Amino acid sequence: MQTKKVNRECSFLLNNLFSYFENSLSSEEKNRFEIHAGICKECSRIITQFASLHSLMDSGKAIEPDPFATTRILEKIKKKLEEDKRAINPGYPRFLQPALLSLVIIMGASIGFFIGKYERSSGSNNTASNKPNNLELLKTDMRISDITSEQTTFFINP
């Protein structure tokens, strides 16, 4: 019976730690809390530990502000806003963007087309220069005919 009562008091205390430290218990409940804390060693140990964490929560409320943070943040924000402005307004009317892009594509295609055409025409010129022309053919024929005439004379006048 005694143990049961102690357990009940322990759970009352452990369930009301926040309320006790925030002063939201009634005077009757506060009394009950403190009486048990005075008797139970285990609960009193838990109260001490909880109190240190609770004071940490309170100290957490007041974090020392960094005196230079405002200037630093303001500078960074202004810089970012400038970047935003530059991205939105690049210095020429917005409708020119697709027009410029199309122009670049057309120019690229035309350059490619002309390069291809030039390559083809220079290629056909090369094959033409490899072939002997009619004048050269005529000269060769003449030379052959010369030899044959010389040979003919050689054979006639040995």
Decide whether 56 or 135 has the Cβ nearer to another protein.
Answer: 56
C-alpha to C-alpha distance for 123 and 118, rounded to whole angstroms? 8
Site for another protein in 83-122 (CB under 8 A): 84
- Tell me which stretch binds another protein (CB under 8 A): 39-47, 94-102, 108-116, 126-134: 39-47
Joined tokens for residue 126: 């090369």
Q: Is 19 exposed, middle or buried (0-12, 13-18, 19+ CB in 10 A)?
A: middle
The answer to whether 34 and 40 have CB atoms below 8 angstroms apart is no
Decide whether 3 or 122 has the Cβ nearer to another protein.
Answer: 3
Determine which residue in the list 5, 7, 8, 14 makes contact with another protein, applying CB under 8 A.
14
C-alpha to C-alpha distance for 32 and 50, rounded to whole angstroms? 18
Question: At its nearest, how many Å lie between another protein and the CB of residue 1?
Answer: 24
Residue pointed to by tokens 């400038």: 82
Direct distance between the N- and C-terminal alpha carbons of the chain, in angstroms, rounded to an integer: 157
Q: Is residue 136 involved in binding another protein (CB under 8 A)?
A: no
Mask: binding to another protein, 49-68, rule CB under 8 A, as x and -? xx-xx--xx--xx-x-xx--
CA-based nearest residue to 47, from 35, 58, 59: 35
Question: At its nearest, how many Å lie between another protein and the CB of residue 29?
Answer: 15
User: What's phi and psi for 156, nearest 5 deg?
Assistant: -75, -45
Decide whether 61 or 131 has the Cβ nearer to another protein.
Answer: 61
Residues that bind another protein (CB under 8 A): 14-15, 17-18, 42, 45-46, 49-50, 52-53, 56-57, 60-61, 63, 65-66, 69-70, 72-74, 76-78, 80-81, 84
